[in-house]
Amino acid sequence: MTPQLPLGLYVRVCCALSAGIPLDEILAVLELAHDVWSAESEAWGDEVAERMGTDDAFDKQYEDELFDARKALKRSVEPLESKSEAWLTFLGLWMMRPDVQETIRTQGFTTHDFFRLHQKWSAFFFENPEEMKFSPPLPDAEVVVPELQLGAWDLDAAFGEYRAAVKALSNLGAAEATEASPADAEEPVDNPPLFAPLPSQGARADLGEG
């Protein structure tokens, strides 16, 4: 089956699922039926498996869609969201002290949150290198895990741009279903056989024929 929905939507849904967002919530925002998503997910999964690593143009498209998905699918994560110092300190803990990652995850922090923030702050420091003041933590230093304040996922903002594509696919499916079995179809009428037998002599007499 050839996928009918955009690759970007597939990637964005996969990102949302990896962040722990229930599929029912995602599909409700998109107004997308479960059976349609199931078929599209399988089709795109096959497409990615077949082309990833063998098609440079597809690899680039997938990377671009993943970049956009991480940027669009977001929630507030304070103080990492707004304070560069807090992010750099946190980054040092995350990268240099794997033993504290599980502690951080117990607060609800996900890998998607990490990659989104890393993407955001990397762009910031590229434009503002003077703000890059990073001091990696010492291996034996006492670790103070920051207390994170997590906001709600903004699914409307993340998926709103794809509603038109979902609606177009739904309309196409409805039109095909109507064409296949029109609701106002007339009951079939049995036509008489082309070579119907002539009436019997008695019947012909009843009709006034000699």
- What is the spatial distance between Cα 143 and Cα 125, in angstroms, rounded to a whole number? 25
Residues 6 or more apart from 200 whose CB is under 8 A from it? none
- Cβ atoms of 76 and 150 within 8 Å: the answer is yes
Domains in the chain: boundaries? 7-73+154-180, 77-150
Residue 196 banded pLDDT, cuts 50, 70, 90:
very low
| pLDDT at residue 6 is higher than 90 | yes
The residue to which tokens 């670790």 are assigned? 143
The model's pTM is: 0.77
Residue 69 banded pLDDT, cuts 50, 70, 90:
very high
- Cβ atoms of 63 and 22 within 8 Å: the answer is no
- What is the spatial distance between Cα 204 and Cα 210, in angstroms, rounded to a whole number? 7
pLDDT in tens, 107-161: 999 999 999 999 999 999 999 999 888 766 656 667 778 899 999 999 999 999 9
- What is the spatial distance between Cα 110 and Cα 104, in angstroms, rounded to a whole number? 9
Residue 181 banded pLDDT, cuts 50, 70, 90:
low
The residue to which tokens 């599980």 are assigned? 102
- What is the spatial distance between Cα 104 and Cα 90, in angstroms, rounded to a whole number? 10
Question: For the chain, where are the E strands, in sequence order?
Answer: 77-78, 149-150
